[in-house]
Structure 1
């Protein structure tokens, strides 16, 4: 339709495959995610979603296939190079430094060269100010002196999102942002996604919370057995018989 004519590709894969032993985790996946939109990648457990994310972000190498970002081939690039290209990501299980404070966790994200630089007099004041502003934005600025291990799991999810934003990516991949999070913080995460998307950031979200997916997403890709079986708007996906079969066996 006319709206689709204005859609630009952001992240694309062609024939992407990855096997672990005899298990085909991703199987010839050719997918296009839309630039400037909230995209979702959904599917049953074990359908290859997190493996797909790991390939795209350089955490593991594909057996075959190609990954491109805004028309540039990023297949098999190192994770830090993919991050520098403009892609940030969170993980299904939060990756924070538990014995560092909330503020220190954000500063490490931009000064990864050692503890001495982190606490030394050469600390860049602009980075500290940016970190504090991002903590305020995600709603945990009052916790900046708390150890990451002492805050709730939902607050750790917000901290991880703030850490992603420290890199100023234009495309953000979120792996189960609502997993293990209470409803109030799920709402906060959803609001942040909407606000950041309105400011021009593209999102690709892996999530099992269908209420969150259907309320946030512009475009949904459905995986089953390592490959896409359907895509479209939330209403189109909800009515697709292939999706109903994959999820419900009907």
Structure 2
């Protein structure tokens, strides 16, 4: 059952001109766990996320989720299938309030309807709930552009969670975040995982990776070179050579 419900790829390949970003990447992320995807800059991690979530089309290979082929689906269809993601560079509406940002994330025709004032009470309550859960409810009426980078990352995550994804992909959640907010993100990931959500995290902050992850996949040059629990990855010679430069 776990295997059927996993997010997995088989021979996923993507090149940009003469540069191969993904080179036949075959990976299975474990359902119900916190998975991490690590590797040096340029190893294909974000390209992998983009292919898996339909932002770009792979040249070849396959992505499956819950046993279904999602390789050619549009991004919104992949969200409906149960996969949500954040981005390395936050995607928020800078001139909209935090509350409106979260509400916009769940309206397919949504933004237009929202600007007309067509808000369902249940959605407003859920949005407030996520803002409160992430500790930014005091910013509900504040424009996103005035928020700190870390607060914007939390806001983007709140929007993702509004779609109630079973699997959440986080692209560098620690980037530019102060230690207090970083601790909050780490705690939230573990809490949400305990409540049943699967995570896949692309991250360079090894303290965060080692503290929250159950399973780690290491990329180098567009393909996985090692995987396992943090205790094994810390001492794997291939990881030390490719990622840590030892």
TM-score category of the 2 structures, normalised to the smaller one: over 0.9
Structure 2 equivalent of residue 218 of structure 1: 214
Q: Determine the C-alpha separation between the residues in 2 that align with 1:123 and 1:240.
A: 52
CA shift, 1:114, in A, is 5.2
Are residues 1:209 and 2:205 paired? yes
SS in 2 for 1:54: helix
Structure 1 equivalent of residue 121 of structure 2: 125
Q: Determine the C-alpha separation between the residues in 2 that align with 1:121 and 1:30.
A: 46
Structure 2 equivalent of residue 33 of structure 1: 29
Q: Determine the C-alpha separation between the residues in 2 that align with 1:168 and 1:175.
A: 18
Structure 2 equivalent of residue 3 of structure 1: none
Are residues 1:245 and 2:241 paired? yes
Q: Determine the C-alpha separation between the residues in 1 that align with 2:178 and 2:116.
A: 37
Structure 1 equivalent of residue 39 of structure 2: 43
Structure 1 residues 66 and 115, CA, compared in 2 at 3 Å: closer, same or farther?
Answer: closer
Q: Determine the C-alpha separation between the residues in 1 that align with 2:198 and 2:24.
A: 24
Unaligned runs of 5+ in 2: none
Q: Which residue, out of 57, 61, 79, partners 1:65?
A: 61
| 1:136-191 Cα shifts (integer Å, max 9, x gaps) | 00000000000000011000000011000000000000000000000000000001
Moved more, 8-17 or 152-161: 8-17
Structure 1 residues 136 and 14, CA, compared in 2 at 3 Å: closer, same or farther?
Answer: same
Moved more, 184-193 or 122-131: 122-131
Structure 2 equivalent of residue 147 of structure 1: 143
TM-score by length of 2: 0.97
Structure 2 equivalent of residue 197 of structure 1: 193
SS in 1 for 2:63: strand
Matches within 5 A, 1:177-196: 177-196=173-192
Structure 1 equivalent of residue 226 of structure 2: 230
Question: How many residues were matched structurally?
Answer: 245
Are residues 1:158 and 2:149 paired? no
Structure 1 residues 214 and 7, CA, compared in 2 at 3 Å: closer, same or farther?
Answer: farther
Q: Determine the C-alpha separation between the residues in 2 that align with 1:101 and 1:94.
A: 15
Q: Which residue, out of 9, 16, 23, partners 2:19?
A: 23
Moved over 3 A (4+): 6-9, 119-122
Question: CA-atom RMSD, angstroms?
Answer: 1.2
Unaligned runs of 5+ in 1: 1-5
Q: Determine the C-alpha separation between the residues in 2 that align with 1:12 and 1:113.
A: 30
CA shift, 1:117, in A, is 1.5
SS in 1 for 2:243: helix
Q: Determine the C-alpha separation between the residues in 1 that align with 2:105 and 2:211.
A: 30
